[in-house]
Amino acid sequence: ISQLQYVEFLNSLTFAQQQSRVTSDPTSASGTYVAFGSYAYRNGIVIETPGNNAAIPAIFACDATANVVNNNNDGQSVAMNNLSWADLAAYLDWSALRPMTELEFEKICRGITPRVSGEYPWGDTNINPYYSTTVINPLQPNEMANTVLNGRCAHALGTSSGAYGPLKVGVFATASSGRSSAGASYYGAMEMGGNVVERTVCVANASGTAFNGTLGDGTLTSIGDANQATWPSVTTATGIGQRGGDYVNVATNVRTSDRTYASTTNAARNYTYGGRGVR
């Protein structure tokens, strides 16, 4: 999910639904950053026009540069972060998608190829860290790495500083890149490892095994929650784990088969938590 996609989601909701899906209240002043209260972790979503309590929903926009909203360099293509499981579930239900299981995560990464010991989602054991402070064309649709290397991956930053954040979706892919240098899965999905955490349905939990793959239906509750009966609880997040690592954590977490946090339950928002949907 990119930041522009999340803005489009927010702008389709009622005021009461918006209140559940952002950190800052929708009645806050124009220019208020709604993920962290200020521009941090490369999240540039702002309130363009405040809402009016229950009567009128707010209008949201991208404004990473704190200038004119929705300029070319306002981070529209940067991966969305600070999503709770409830936020992600709501987006997936609204968009008629669903969460992926951790088995699907590995299938997307590995495809039909044999397992390679210690492999990453791009199919080999190469891994080279990359951070948001060294990109070319920062926050623009053509944001890219300044060098091309096999196993490029946003990982291993090792700090929680808000001066850093996730990269553009598909940041390492170019017209001439191969699978390893693009960081692509077997089927071409980008950033299955690193950048932001993948939230997956855990197969080692009763709430996870109750999941039957039901797709979202485009309708949310009056307070903006997903309402799919077999999905893990949006209140407790029991049955939802984490795979693929993120831009902060170590390389071992990025490995296709790493399950360090596969059953870790966390219902809260976090600057490394992103989202992805499947069908």
pLDDT tens, 228-261?
999 999 999 999 999 999 999 999 999 999 999 9
- pLDDT given for residue 54 in this prediction: 78
Q: Residue 8 contacts by C-beta under 8 Å, 6 or more apart in sequence? A: none
* pLDDT tens digit sequence for 57-102: 999 999 999 999 999 999 999 999 999 999 999 999 999 999 999 9
Helix or strand holding residue 88 (H, E): helix 85-94
Planar angle of CA 112, 118, 121, nearest 5 degrees: 50
Q: Which structure tokens are listed for 279?
A: 């069908």
The parent domain of residue 88 ranges over 84-279
Kindly report which listed range (47-56, 105-114, 214-223, 257-266) carries the lowest average pLDDT score.
Answer: 47-56
199-219 pLDDT, tens digit each: 999 999 999 999 999 999 999
Position 52 in a domain: no
CA 172 to chain centre: 16
CA dist., res. 248 & res. 53, Å (int): 37
20, part of any domain: no
Q: Which residues pair with 242 in a beta bridge?
A: 199
Domain contains 102: yes
- The pLDDT, as a whole number, for residue 145 is 97
The answer to whether position 30 is within a domain reads no
Residue 24 in domain: no
Residue 150 has pLDDT above 90, yes or no: yes
Q: How far apart are CA 125 and CA 191, in angstroms?
A: 15
Q: Is residue 10 in some structural domain?
A: no
Residue 154: pLDDT over 90? yes
Answer whether residue 9 is part of any domain: no
| Predicted TM-score (pTM) of this structure | 0.97
pLDDT-derived band of residue 127, with 50, 70 and 90 as boundaries?
very high
Number of domains in the chain: 1
The rounded radius of gyration (Å) of the Cα atoms in the chain is 18
Question: Residue 55: pLDDT band by 50, 70, 90 thresholds?
Answer: confident
140 domain-assigned: yes
The rounded distance, in Å, linking the Cα atoms of 173 and 236 is 36
